[in-house]
Amino acid sequence: MAFCQVQFFSKSLVVASTVNVILPEESMGIGITASEQKELPQVLYLLHGYSDDHSIWMRRTSVERYAAKHNLAVIMPAVNHSFYVNEKHGEKYWDYVSQELPEIMHRFFRLSDRPEDTFVAGLSMGGYGAMRLALTYPERFAAAASFSGAVDIAQRYADRDKENRQFFPLFGDAETLEGTEYDLFHLLKKHAGDAHKPKLYVSCGTKDFLYGAHQRFCPAVQEAGWDLTTEEIPDAVHEWGLWDKQIEKFIEGYVR
């Protein structure tokens, strides 16, 4: 795989931004199986968690090796602590990741733009971001995955001090969060009748601090009629050994 660190000026954020990208090659070298490249590469947007950045998936997992077998490009943006939203008191990270980033990546690289070739996944905060992208724009994606995701953002906020520095600048008042564009449960119902909906994969360890959110979210997905595969990993916690296995499983199970 070719590895690119792309630095460009973001109009949405009004600042220079960095994205890591891995791209398929015809020959990958010793020990890596390459796919045939008869078509433009499929695309996976891979989102980081709250304490990480655009480099973390490459540093902590073998995602490059997993993608190589599937003619899959992987795009890994940095969004700081934004939860992938247009912050109430800050920057427009939702505009960046949902609109500007795909436009720029397709301008810079020869990638498939077909929904059946487009995927999004993330862990923790990135799991929330991946689900929000898939539920807001279901027509864009073939499948989406959340690994140990913060999928019940309203409850997550309610469990904390309403004026804390983590959530208030992003979402505003906790009381106004449910039933809004930030609320995944609202989006599930809003787009339940859409003609095209991506397949969803949602996993979490049973000893993860976000396991309660997982337990609330999955029944809501099924009730709303989305195609859901869910996995609960016994005794697993919030850690990279699990997420390495999960991203491999998602790629093997959903990408051609």
pLDDT-derived band at 159, boundaries 50, 70, 90: confident
Tokens of 242: 């699990």
CB 160 within 8 A of CB 185: no
Tokens of 236: 């697993």
Residue ranges of domains in the chain = 2-254
Enter the CATH code of domain 2-254. Answer: 3.40.50.1820
Mean pLDDT across 213-227: 98
Instruction: Report yes or no on whether pTM surpasses 0.85.
Output: yes
Tens digits of residue pLDDT in 62-93: 999 999 999 999 999 999 999 999 998 899 99
Integer-rounded Cα Rg, in Å, for the chain is 17
| 3-state per-residue secondary structure call for the chain | CEEEEEEEEECCCCEEEEEEEEECCCCCCCCCCCCCCCCCCEEEEEECCCCCCCCHHHHHCCHHHHHHCCCEEEEEECCCCCCCCECCCCCEHHHHHHHHHHHHHHHHCCCCCCHHHEEEEEECHHHHHHHHHHHHCHHHCCEEEEECCCCCHHHHHHCCCCCCCCCHHHHCCHHHCCCCCCCHHHHHHHCCCCCCCCEEEEEEECCCCCHHHHHHHHHHHHHCCCCEEEEEECCCCCCHHHHHHHHHHHHHHHCC
Tens digits of residue pLDDT in 3-33: 999 999 999 999 999 999 999 998 666 666 7
pLDDT at 160: 67
